[in-house]
């Protein structure tokens, strides 16, 4: 019977302190760049965020309203990043159709849809309050 080793499988897990923070930040930026390059949906939502996040400072009448308006936009981006990651992992496994692969992709897409609906609802309510009520 083989004896278990105490060495980590991934050498990256040994990083500590500033080195870990530096590498984690670099990987995060690389992830954003990959999403911009590879995902048309992320590019569209990011362009919308470039407009809506600054607009949240104009539309929000308190810091809480401003934060909520900006947060729901960022939440859409987060959901799209996770969905893109799920799709990349499933596509890496193979091109053949599988029920679990379809479910993973559909659930990720459903999460994005819910975030988009939440974002649209919050923004519609804020616009209604500001201009109609």
Q: Is the dihedral of CA 60, 83, 44, 117 positive or negative?
A: negative
Burial of 53 from C-beta contacts in 10 A (0-12 / 13-18 / 19+): middle
38 has catalytic annotation: no
Catalytic residue among 30, 38, 65, 80: 80
Active-site residue numbers? 80
């Amino acid at each position: 019977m083989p004896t278990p080793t105490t060495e980590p499988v991934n050498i990256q897990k040994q990083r500590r302190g500033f080195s870990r923070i530096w590498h984690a930040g670099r990987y995060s930026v690389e992830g954003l760049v990959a999403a911009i390059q590879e995902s048309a949906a992320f590019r569209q939502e990011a362009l919308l965020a470039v407009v809506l996040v600054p607009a949240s400072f104009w539309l929000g009448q308190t810091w809480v309203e401003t934060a909520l308006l900006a947060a729901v936009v960022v939440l859409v981006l987060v959901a799209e990043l996770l969905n893109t990651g799920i799709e990349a992992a499933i596509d890496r496994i193979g091109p053949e159709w599988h029920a679990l692969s379809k479910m993973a992709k559909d659930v990720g897409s459903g999460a994005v849809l819910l975030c988009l609906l939440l974002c649209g609802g919050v923004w519609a309510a804020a616009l209604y309050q500001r201009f109609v009520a």
